Structure 1
Amino acid sequence: MDISNKTIYYSGINALRLEWPAELSVKYGVLITFNEGEEDSNEVKYEVLVTRLKPGPEGQPLFQIERIGDVFINEILPDLVADRLAYAAGKVFYPLVITVDQNGGFQTVYNHAEILKRWQSVKNKILSDFEGSLVENYIEQMEKLLGNPDSIQIALLNDWFIQTFFKPLYKEYGQHRSSGSIYKFPIAKGFNVEGYITEEKLSGQTNSFGAIELLHNGIIKPLEDDLYIANRATGDYEGNYLLHPKYKRIISVVSDFSYGAPIISKVKVKITVIPKSGEEFDRDFQLDTNVTGVPVTEMVVIDGQTSRKGFWDRLLNK
């Protein structure tokens, strides 16, 4: 039976528990738009492969993130020297292995030693492709960053994919399927804010696409400090997470952020599963009740020249 024609009440009435099998990889497309609709808008696209690894020696939940292919800025490869240099140097971090907490939230970089070993080859490649004082200064700053695991940790707080995808979603949501948390995202960098105080609402049944829906609605929570009363930051956050009905892993995320202190900035983040070539959308989209998932043939092409229409509309039931 087509899952879109049947309402599924999934197990774990007021909680989410991730059941992503170890050594299973899922490919995602990432689209980040800065100041959409404005003159200074910019769009970044890339693909990642996320793999759930076996737990670490102390039982740490581990995930590996790999960048696949190129990063596109406004539909083209980076053309400014500074952008190309940053992209070339950033390759040293991948594959990146991170630890997450028991709720799925990003914790630490796990493979720091491997990153350090990769640096020499990445550095040699940079020196062969670039020249000038800008390059020398950039390498110096990178080596300071890489030598300190805490600095890498702080740098990844500005990674939109990690900070959107690896949030503590897997937890109890209370009797009425809702809870509240304070979440930080890269857009709110000021010292005068704690983050977005966020109401989280977990659906009690699958949507028409067959996915579990988790909705976030947040507003900036300023620090309770008299120094910031005259210039309090404001902003909103809205996130829509669609999760696999059986394994609870992310199928897609669409999040909108605004932050004003005092100039308003906006960011939109879209992350969605990309099926393997020749396969239906997430072919294991099947519940214990043997309700078969919806075959989705219209997918977004992250780095191609054209995109088939209809995938996002169908996925988000718009």
Structure 2
Amino acid sequence: MIIGEILDTLGEIKHKTYEIQKSDTPQSVADLLEISLDELRHYHNFSCIEDADVINAYFPSHLKYLLLKPIKLKANGEPEDEPLEKVRFSTKTYQLPFKPSGTNRYLGVYIIENGQKKHSIKEEVSVKWLATDINNYSFFEIDRISKVYIDEKEADCIADEIAEKTSRVFYPLQVVVNQKGKWIDIHNYDTIQERWYETKPKILEEYKGEEIEECLSRFEKKIEDKSAFLESFNFNWFLRAFFNGINIEYKDQLVVEKNIYFPISNTFGDTQFLVQQEISPTLDKHNLINITQKGILSDPRTKQDFENDTDFPYDTLLEENPEKAEGLYNSCYFLNPRTYLADSLFLECSIKLDIPLKTTITISNLEDNENLRPQSRVSLYAGEAKRTEGFLNSVADIFRMK
């Protein structure tokens, strides 16, 4: 077993190295060193730049040395706790960058609670970065890669079946996202229109009746009116939660107060919440950037306005001392520190009405192998890490921290 060392400029041990033998495999070396394969791969892949040197099931044929974690000991001989990696900002004013790349698959779960009634919607979605232009607008292709499941079931009534068939024309959907990570436009509007004109006759051939034709006619009006078309995507929970504009400047306190607008219900439109948005200065134990948003309802509409399903504060204008509505907003974002895109997220918003309303959104990465660590300054290797585990436990831990 040939073990060497790489020293830093101060003569401290930065990495230990292992000279790879002809018959070695990652698993055999892990067994020899009495560490797990995940630990072996994780440290090696984290400490490098060149993608060709990443360890997967086998060692790359050209790779001669493997980087190992140096073990630093306390005065009592016990290993020191490993310090957490700091989040890398792009400016001195703590601007969180946006460097999208690659493709990932996500599971979106949306739970709607209206009093005692509770419904769930599930879908699998792929997010593919296409390009970033000279003005730093990024283009993504969003595709629904599964059927939509409502309360754990596929569409089983005509209305749900038609809703699913019509919504298919949107995908693949190409969206434009600004530097703050917020979606601002649909790029392939003309293509979606063409898909609709091809799809409509097929639906009419399968489903007959005046009600069907009226339903498709209403849908077509939205397709043909671009402003109405874009407005309909304001109620797309995946887009609104995933591209939520969290890549902002956090200042030296790493906390900002801001208004958040989110569609808790399609009858209310965008609902305003005043939140404290905070970013942790270090990566968590899963090597992810943590951002939390915690706040209260600050919408100008009153409780009665919400009870009446209005999108304008009529009651505020008519009543002298109207009853204010109360509500909460909480979210946790776990970002990939290479791309600064969400690896997973949890969002929950609620309003206290006569029949309370709460919407919960969970989006989690389905990829088994995700490049999580930020690029190292050591120009030897490049990295991958196991995707985050215990996602809901991490959410709970964050909310308990405050």
What is the rounded CA distance, in whole Å, between the counterparts of 2:266 and 2:117 in structure 1?
Answer: 19
Question: Does structure 1 conserve the Cα–Cα contact (< 8 Å) formed by 2:334 and 2:344?
Answer: yes
2:100 is aligned with what amino acid?
A: W
1: CA distance between counterparts of 2:199 and 2:261? Answer: 31
State the partner residue of 1:127.
Answer: 204
User: Given residue 372 of structure 2, which amino acid in structure 1 is its aligned partner?
Assistant: F
Displacement after TM superposition at 1:92 (Å):
1.1
Kept in 2: contact 1:187–1:267 (CA 8 A): yes
1:281 matched residue in structure 2: 369
Deviation at 1:286, TM superposition (A): 2.7
RMSD, matched Cα: 2.7
Aligned pairs (5 A) from 1:171-190:
171-187=248-264
Aligned partners of 2:270 and 2:152: how far apart in 1? 34
Secondary structure of 1:139's counterpart equals: helix
Aligned equivalents of 1:5 and 1:202: distance in 2? 21
Unmatched segments (≥5 aa) in structure 2: 1-38, 44-80, 302-315, 398-402
CA–CA distance in structure 1, aligned partners of residues 132 and 96 of structure 2: 20
- Contact kept? 2:296, 2:326, Cα under 8 Å: yes
Provide the C-alpha distance between the structure 2 equivalents of 1:59 and 1:206, rounded to a whole number of angstroms: 25
Q: Distance in 2 between matches of 1:192 and 1:316?
A: 27
Distance, in Å, in 2 between the alignment partners of 1:267 and 1:150 is 26
SS of 1:153's partner is helix
Q: Give, in whole Å, the separation in 2 of the partners of 1:118 and 1:57.
A: 30
Letter in 1 for 2:88: S
Q: Residues 84-233 of structure 1: matches in 2 within 5 Å?
A: 84-187=161-264, 195-223=272-300, 225-227=316-318, 229-233=321-325
1:290-305 to structure 2, matched below 5 A, reads: 294-296=385-387
Distance 1:148 1:263 in 2: 35
CA contact (8 A) 2:174 2:187 kept: yes
Hey, what's the Cα distance between the residues in 1 that align with 2:212 and 2:191?
23
**How far did residue 138 of structure 1 move?**
0.9
Checking the alignment, whether the CA contact within 8 Å between 1:27 and 1:49 is kept in structure 2 is: yes
* Structure index of larger Rg: 2
Q: Indicate the residue corresponding to 2:329 in structure 1.
A: 237
CA contact (8 A) 2:263 2:271 kept: no
Partner of 1:302: none
Q: TM-score normalized by structure 2?
A: 0.68
Please show how residues 63-78 of structure 1 align to structure 2 within 5 Å: 63-78=140-155
Quote the offset at 1:220 in angstroms: 1.1
Aligned residue among 260, 264, 270 for 2:352: 260
CA change 1:206–1:70 in 2 (3 A) is same
**Number of the residue aligned with 2:111:** 33
Bigger mean CA offset, 228-237 vs 138-147: 228-237
The alpha-carbon distance between structure 1 residues 315 and 222, as it changes in their structure 2 partners (threshold 3 A), is closer
Aligned residues: 298
Provide the residue aligned with 1:18 in structure 2. Answer: 98
The letter of the residue matching 1:31 is V
> Within 1, Cα distance between the matches of 2:269 and 2:190?
35
Indicate conservation of the 8 Å contact 1:210/1:293, yes or no: no
d(CA) in 2 for partners of 1:190 and 1:54? 35
Q: What one-letter code is carried by the residue in structure 2 that aligns with 1:312?
A: F
TM-score (norm 1): 0.84
Q: Which residue of 2 aligns with 1:312?
A: 391
CA drift of 1:10 comes to 2.4
SS at 1:150 equivalent: helix
CA distance in 2, matches of 1:182, 1:59: 24
Change (3 A) 1:152 1:57: farther
Of all paired residues, the percent bearing the same amino acid is 21
- The residue number in structure 1 matching 2:139 is 62
For 1:100 and 1:75, locate their aligned partners in 2 and report how far apart those are by CA, in whole Å: 31
